[in-house]
Structure formats: structure tokens, C-alpha cells
Amino acid sequence: MKRTWWKEAVVYQVYWRSFFDSNGDGYGDLEGLIQKLDYIHDLGVDVIWLNPCYESPDKDNGYDISDYYRIMDKAGDMETFDRLLHEVHQRGMKLIMDLVVNHTSDQHPWFIESRSSKDNPKRDWYIWRDKPNNWRSYFTPSAWEYDEKTGQYYFHSFAVEQPDLNWENKEVREEIYKMMRFWLDKGIDGFRLDAIALLAKPDGFPDAENPYDIRYLTNNPGVHEYLQEMHDKVLKHYDIFTVGEVAFVSPEEGLKYVEEDRNELHTLFHFEVCDEMPTWDPIRFKQIQKRWYEGLWGKGWNSQFLNNHDHTRQVTRYGNDKQFRVESAKLLATLVHTLPGTPYIYQGEEIGMTGVKFDSIDDYNDIAMKNKYAEEVAKGRDPKEVLESLQLLSRDNSRTPMQWDDSEHAGFTTGTPWLKVNPNYKEINVKQALAAPNSVYYYYKKLIQLRKQNPVMVYGTFRDLSENEPYIYAYTRELDGVRWLIVLNHCDSDNVYTLPEELSSASRRLLLGNYIDVKEEGTTLHMRPHEARIYALQ
């Protein structure tokens, strides 16, 4: 297997508007990120993934771009961005930018021209039709919006304010490639490519048999040709890292995006866990991991994550954020960092931040949640029940401001935060984590250091030893005669794991555990609630 810097990297995602506010306007900003770079660097990560900071009306928190060449005022300006990039590189880290090329804002000059008349030269830069089909978008009941001025409908896979670009138009593609080169020539180290599986649309836009199953939006014929062209014209000319957001894919389809000799992307986010496993399902999770390992290993590269800006914080969704918050936060970290693939840390995860339950829909900002709430209430459903049904998976669970200390607004801002701070910030914050030697933060630091020092954690083969176990997850990683055993008790109670006969005679050395006092035992391991252990076997 080819060894590369990006396979060995640990990525830290910065959702900048919730990270640190340097000027008191209630929004995090790039200057705030610069001021906190040492915190990220000290954790030991290699790459920062920066969510979109381009000029935007901010209808979808920056994923509706109105100017690819400018920084939005909330984030700062281009001078600040250039300084950020310099400071990241000065610390030996890399920076990848979140890039949206499936759609733009409806305020982008391209779309303003496109909708001005049917014969405008940019009319075909977007997708217009006389009649809509029955498709839904990710955020709204219809993927089509009527434009009174020209009497046609335009297509949007997400919000009404996010019209899809027409990738069949060569002029569009060339303009996108030009823009990508602009940022790469600045010296950024790659892209996280948003909604990249949506670029190609089905011929003719036929009605869907079941419009609620929106898989018709993704992975359509032509998408791989677009990505190969992007690679040929842009990506291959730079030493960078690319990761694509690719929903609704099997390992077989996913491999097409990342197989090393296909020349498309380096790695991908699939969402069989985060989108399709709303609560912890151990058997299903193990099956997902095994299928993706068998589908990609030796041919392409995977990503490991359990939360991000679109998905509820992992300790709330997949762990126990109350009785065993610290233990389960460490267990989930062990899981993500020892399974095959590149591990991602979402800001605040490293101190065990949790999800929230606001009392009113008015306290939420998530456009997808608010649209769904309005749609369901309009059907006559009880508003309280609708709110409760949407809370667990609301994207705002992970978007509440970073909790730096126990001062007002968690030290995030001196103003009024754009989104309410989680009320538990007095107990869960960076200041507290840095003062406690056994905190979640220092456990992450140890995990990252292990990965840097031990190639087996990156390139080792994977074998599940516990496929049908409901609570214990045990697996090995092996490389060049080095073999590790990882044992996790993903449960609120004690459990016992008996080593398989093939490992019973091996001597064990504990490399890392999330409980302080681990007693060496024979072939039977007595695991406490949410206990995680990493052993070297000899």
C-alpha cells in the first residue's frame, strides 16, 4: 500500500462561526481561529478543515456562496485569511477548505444573470425547466422553484436560495476549475468537497416512484467523468488532500470515487453510520466497518468520524453523555482513531461536548430542521411532538459555540452569541479539560501521539473478533509483525470478553486505556462501563 502524508494525518474540523469570536459580534471568525491555533496545534493534529468562509448571504451558514473569491464579513477578509494560512503553515499544520461546487447562492452574479432572461448567456449555467418533476430537495418539499419573471422553474437540491449549477455546461466547469486553482495557488492544502456526488443529474429528470427516497439526487451517470476531468485539469498539479462528501453509496460505488488508479478523490465521507444509523446499533456498525474495509482496503482510503457540523455530537448520539460522559467520549475516540481510515475530530469533541435540547424552535438556526418543523406542523401535528422528534438529529446539536471556559457565553464571545451556548458549559470547557490530567482532551492527545509513532495504527490490516457480540467490540490491527488488540465495552454495565484461542497465548502490553487502574488479567478481560483498551500483542 502506498504511504502518503494525508493517510497518516489526523484532521480537526473548525466550524469557525462557533469556534472563537475575536471582535464581540457574536460570530466566530478567522481572527479568532488564529488566536486559538496553538490550542489545536498542541492537540497534535496535522490538518485543519475549515468550513466555508466565502462571501455568502448566509442562508445555509456559508454553504450558499455568492462570491468564491471573497471572504464573508462575518469571517473577516482576505488579508486575515492569508495570515491564517501562514500561521497554520508556520506551526507545521495544513489547511483544507470546504468547497461547494454543486450549487451557489441565488445572490451569486452568475445566477442573477441566469434568471434575468431566457436568452441570457448564463441561462444554461443553471438548470431550468418549464415543468417541475416530483422530486424533493434535502431541505424543502420540492426541488424546484418557480421564477415569475421568466416563467420557468429552477432546480435546487438544497434550499430555495441554493440553485444547482449545470455541470453539463463546459463553461461552468472551466470557471469552477479556475476558481479552485486560485485557492490552491494561494497555498491551501486541499479541499473538502461538499455534496460532490450530486454534480451529475439524471437525463430528463423523470418522476421518482418514491419522491421521499432522495437517492435519485446522487451518484448519477457522469459524476465520475466530471471528477476525473477536475483531477486532470486541477487536482493532479498540486500536492494536496481531497475528501468528498458522498451520500448513499455502497463500498462498491464508493471505491469509484477513491480508487487510487482512477484519479478522482483521495478519500470520502460515506454516511452509512451518521445518516442511516440514528442511534447506536453495534451489530450494524460492525457490519458497516467490515464491508467498507473489505471494499476499500489496498485500493482506496476511508474516513472515520461519528459527528461533524451536520451530525449530533457523538457522545450524545452514540455514547452516554450523562453518567459515563468522560468514559464514553474516550471510548468513541478510541474507536474512530483505531479503525482503518483517516480520523476526523470535530471541534469540542476533544473535550466531550454534548448535544442540546432547546425549549423552542425559535432557539434553533438549522434551516433543514426549521423547514421540516414548519412542514410537519402545517400537516396538523402537535408542535411540541414535532420539536421533540427533530431535536436529536438537529444540526444545531454540533453547532453550539465552543466552550472555552466557565465565564459568560463560555468564553466564546463578549457579545451575544449567534446560537445559544450549551447550558452545561460551566462543567464542560477547555479550561477545565486542560487542568485535569485525565480529561478527554489529554486522552485524545495520547491517541494522536500513538498514531504518529505507530504505522500499524494507520496501515495495519483489520480483523473483527466480535462480530455478533452486542456490547464488546474487539479487533486487531497488524503490520510487519506488529499486532495490536483493541477491546471496547460499549455499554453502561460491566461485561466480560474472553480472548479467542489464537490470542490466548500471546503476551499483552497495555498501550492506552480510558480507566486509570487497569489490572492485567488472564484470557478473560473484565471490562467496566464504556471501557476501552489498546494492547500490543507479542
Instruction: Check: CB of residue 244 under 8 Å from CB of residue 268.
Output: yes
Amino acid found at 209: E
Residues 511, 516, 518: CA angle, nearest 5 degrees: 65
Residue with cell 483521495: 266
CA dihedral 365, 371, 375, 380 (to 10 degrees): 10
Residue 304 φ/ψ region, left for φ over 0, alpha for ψ in the -120 to 50 degree band, beta for the rest: beta
CA pseudo-torsion sign 56, 141, 101, 91: positive
Give CA–CA dist 126/4, Å, rounded: 38
CA pseudo-torsion sign 150, 153, 158, 159: positive
Per annotation, catalytic residue among 31, 106, 189, 194: 194
**Residue 401: its H or E element:** none
Contacts of 116 (CB under 8 A, 6+ apart): 149
Per annotation, catalytic residue among 245, 321, 349, 350: 245
Instruction: Check: CB of residue 270 under 8 Å from CB of residue 305.
Output: no
Cell readout for 525 is: 478481560
Amino acid found at 347: Q
Instruction: Check: CB of residue 49 under 8 Å from CB of residue 144.
Output: no
Instruction: Check: CB of residue 227 under 8 Å from CB of residue 262.
Output: no
Task: Clarify whether 359 is annotated catalytic.
Answer: no
Closest among 473, 467, 477 to 489, alpha carbons compared: 473
Amino acid found at 118: K
Give CA–CA dist 95/86, Å, rounded: 10
| Cα separations in angstroms, 66 against 63, 105, 146, 195, 295 | 10, 5, 20, 17, 38
Instruction: Check: CB of residue 514 under 8 Å from CB of residue 532.
Output: yes
Give CA–CA dist 173/168, Å, rounded: 8
Amino acid found at 61: N
Cell readout for 160 is: 430555495
Residue with cell 487542568: 435
Output DSSP code: residue 264: S
Task: Clarify whether 67 is annotated catalytic.
Answer: no
Helices (H) and strands (E) in the chain, counts: 16, 20
Question: Within 13 Å and on the Cβ side, how many CA atoms surround 143?
Answer: 27
SS3 507: coil
As annotated, the active-site residues are: 194, 245
